[in-house]
Structure 1
Amino acid sequence: MQLKLILLFFWASSLYAGEDFAFSKPWLNLLHYKKGFFGYKSRAKRPEFFLSSEGMTNPKDELVKTLEAFNRDPDLACRFPARHKLLRTQTKLKERGACPELDKWLKGIDAGDLYLVYSSAYPSNPASLFGHTFLRFDRKKYSDSKVSSKLLGYSLAFQAQTNSDDNSFIYTFKGMTGGYDSYLEIKPHYMDIGAYNNSESRDLWEYKIPISEEEKELMLLHVWELITGTTFSYYFLDENCSTHVLALLEAVKPEWDFSSKSDLFVVPQTTLIEVLEKSEHRVVGFRPAIKRLIWARVNRMDKGELSRVFAAKEDVNQISKLKTADEFDLLIDLWKFDNYKAGTKLDASSKEKMDKVLIARANLEEAPIAIDLKEENQDRAPDLAHKFKKLGVGYLETPYVEFSYGFHSFDDPILGYDEKSYIKFLEGMIFYEEKEFELRRFDLIKITSLQNFSFSYPHFSWEINLFANQERREEKLPKKISLSGGIGFSLLRSSWQLFFIPEAKGSIDTGTGKKKIEALLKLSFKKSLTKNFQFVFESEYLPSKSSDKEVLLGPKFNLSLGRQVVLEVGGEYLSTEKKMRPRAQLHAYF
Structure 2
Amino acid sequence: MAASFAARAGTTSLPDEGALQSLAEKPQWAHLLHYRLHPLKGRYLSQNDSPEFFLAEHGKEDLTAELKADFIAFLQTNQADNESAQCQFPARYHWLKQQLPDVAFTDQRCPEFEEWRDELDAHALTLIFPASHINSPSSMYGHTLVRMDRADDSRSKLLAYSVNFAANADPTDNELVFSYKGLTGGYPGVVSVMPYYVKTNEYQHMEYRDVWEYRLNFTEAEVAQFVRHIWETKETYYDYFFFDENCSYRLLALLDASSERADLAEAFTYKAVPVDTIRALWQNDLVENTEYRPSAATAMEFKSTQVNEEVLVAAQALVDSDEDIESLIAGLNAQDQVRALELSHAYARYLAIKKKQANPVLRKRTLALLSARAKRPAEADFTDTPMPAIRDDQGHLTSRAGLWGGQVSASGETQAYSDLSWRIAYHDILDLPQGFVPGSQIQMGQWDLRVWEDEGVKLQRFKVVDVLSLSHQTYFQRPVAWAVTAGAERFLGAEAELHGYLKVAFGRAYQTALGRWYGLAETQMLADNQFDDGYQLSFGPRVGWLLQHEQVQAQLEANWQPLNVGDDTVRRSLRAEAGYALGQNLQLRIKAERQLFSAGAGTAGISEVSAGMQWYF
Taking structure 2 as the reference length, the TM-score comes to 0.84
Q: Does 1:550 align with 2:572?
A: yes
Q: Does 1:79 align with 2:80?
A: no
Alignment of 1:284-303 (within 5 A): 284-303=290-309
1:184 aligns to what? 191
Q: Does 1:105 align with 2:116?
A: yes
2:49 aligns to what? 45
- When structure 1 is superposed on structure 2, of 25-34 and 280-289 the one drifting more is 280-289
- Which SS does the other structure have where 2:215 is aligned? strand
Displacement of 1:365 in angstroms is: 2.1
1:326 aligns to what? 339
Q: Does 1:351 align with 2:363?
A: yes
2-structure distance, mates of 1:86, 1:568: 53
- Which SS does the other structure have where 1:428 is aligned? strand
Q: Does 1:11 align with 2:7?
A: no
1:124 aligns to what? 135
2-structure distance, mates of 1:85, 1:519: 64
1:32 aligns to what? 34
Q: Does 1:360 align with 2:372?
A: yes
Displacement of 1:399 in angstroms is: 4.1
Q: Which amino acid aligns with 1:359?
A: S
Distance of aligned partners of 1:492 and 1:65 in 2 relative to their CA distance in 1, 3 Å threshold:
farther
Distance of aligned partners of 1:479 and 1:569 in 2 relative to their CA distance in 1, 3 Å threshold:
closer
Q: Which amino acid aligns with 2:33?
A: L
2-structure distance, mates of 1:4, 1:536: 74
How large is the Cα RMSD of the aligned pairs?
A: 3.2
Q: Does 1:516 align with 2:528?
A: no
Alignment of 1:234-383 (within 5 A): 234-258=240-264, 262-279=268-285, 281=287, 283-315=289-321, 318-320=324-326, 321-322=328-329, 323-343=336-356, 345-367=357-379, 369=381, 371-375=383-387, 377-383=388-394
2:333 aligns to what? none
Render the CA deviation track for 1:259-297: whole Å, top value 9, x for unaligned: 676433332222222222222647332222322222222
Q: Does 1:162 align with 2:162?
A: no
1-structure distance, mates of 2:513, 2:24: 53
Contact 2:316–2:476, Cα closer than 8 Å, also in 1: no
1:447 aligns to what? 467
Displacement of 1:4 in angstroms is: 13
2-structure distance, mates of 1:45, 1:563: 40
1:409 aligns to what? 428
Q: Which amino acid aligns with 1:588?
A: W
Structure 2: stretches of 5+ with no match in the other structure: 330-335, 409-415, 597-602
- Which SS does the other structure have where 2:257 is aligned? helix
2-structure distance, mates of 1:452, 1:572: 26
Render the CA deviation track for 1:12-48: whole Å, top value 9, x for unaligned: 5436662111122111111112234474432222222
1-structure distance, mates of 2:377, 2:355: 31
Displacement of 1:89 in angstroms is: 1.0
Contact 1:112–1:139, Cα closer than 8 Å, also in 2: yes
Q: Which amino acid aligns with 1:230?
A: T
- When structure 1 is superposed on structure 2, of 410-419 and 377-386 the one drifting more is 377-386
2:412 aligns to what? none
Contact 2:35–2:45, Cα closer than 8 Å, also in 1: yes
Render the CA deviation track for 1:533-587: whole Å, top value 9, x for unaligned: 333333323336964752312142x222222110123533456788986532211
Contact 1:522–1:541, Cα closer than 8 Å, also in 2: yes
Q: Does 1:225 align with 2:232?
A: yes
2:489 aligns to what? 469
1:88 aligns to what? 97
- When structure 1 is superposed on structure 2, of 490-499 and 50-59 the one drifting more is 490-499
- When structure 1 is superposed on structure 2, of 490-499 and 364-373 the one drifting more is 490-499
Contact 1:139–1:149, Cα closer than 8 Å, also in 2: no
2-structure distance, mates of 1:261, 1:241: 15
Displacement of 1:396 in angstroms is: 4.1
Distance of aligned partners of 1:299 and 1:20 in 2 relative to their CA distance in 1, 3 Å threshold:
same
Render the CA deviation track for 1:326-374: whole Å, top value 9, x for unaligned: 222212212222333344x523333232222223333332446454334
- Which SS does the other structure have where 1:111 is aligned? coil
2-structure distance, mates of 1:12, 1:501: 78
Render the CA deviation track for 1:280-326: whole Å, top value 9, x for unaligned: 64733222232222222222222211121112113465333444432
Contact 2:6–2:12, Cα closer than 8 Å, also in 1: no
2-structure distance, mates of 1:452, 1:262: 34
1-structure distance, mates of 2:560, 2:129: 38
1-structure distance, mates of 2:35, 2:145: 21
- Which SS does the other structure have where 1:103 is aligned? helix
Distance of aligned partners of 1:9 and 1:211 in 2 relative to their CA distance in 1, 3 Å threshold:
closer
Contact 1:572–1:583, Cα closer than 8 Å, also in 2: no
1-structure distance, mates of 2:229, 2:374: 44
Corresponding residue pairs, total: 578
Q: Does 1:500 align with 2:519?
A: yes
Contact 2:586–2:616, Cα closer than 8 Å, also in 1: yes
- Which SS does the other structure have where 1:137 is aligned? strand
Distance of aligned partners of 1:501 and 1:222 in 2 relative to their CA distance in 1, 3 Å threshold:
same
Contact 1:111–1:137, Cα closer than 8 Å, also in 2: yes
Render the CA deviation track for 1:103-122: whole Å, top value 9, x for unaligned: 33223222243222222222
1:393 aligns to what? 404
Displacement of 1:245 in angstroms is: 0.8
Q: Which amino acid aligns with 1:567?
A: L
Contact 2:5–2:14, Cα closer than 8 Å, also in 1: no
- Which SS does the other structure have where 1:219 is aligned? helix
2:588 aligns to what? 567
Alignment of 1:577-588 (within 5 A): 582-588=609-615
2-structure distance, mates of 1:260, 1:461: 38
Contact 1:382–1:417, Cα closer than 8 Å, also in 2: no
- When structure 1 is superposed on structure 2, of 328-337 and 489-498 the one drifting more is 489-498
2-structure distance, mates of 1:7, 1:443: 63
1-structure distance, mates of 2:8, 2:358: 69
Distance of aligned partners of 1:402 and 1:497 in 2 relative to their CA distance in 1, 3 Å threshold:
farther
Render the CA deviation track for 1:58-113: whole Å, top value 9, x for unaligned: 22121112121111146532332111111111113547466333233223222243
Taking structure 1 as the reference length, the TM-score comes to 0.88
Alignment of 1:130-209 (within 5 A): 130-141=141-152, 143-144=153-154, 148-209=155-216
Q: Which amino acid aligns with 2:75?
A: N
Contact 1:311–1:318, Cα closer than 8 Å, also in 2: no
Displacement of 1:511 in angstroms is: 4.7
2-structure distance, mates of 1:506, 1:108: 56
Contact 1:32–1:44, Cα closer than 8 Å, also in 2: yes
Q: Which amino acid aligns with 1:27?
A: W
Q: Which amino acid aligns with 1:347?
A: N
Q: Which amino acid aligns with 1:551?
A: S
1-structure distance, mates of 2:402, 2:73: 54
Distance of aligned partners of 1:506 and 1:528 in 2 relative to their CA distance in 1, 3 Å threshold:
closer
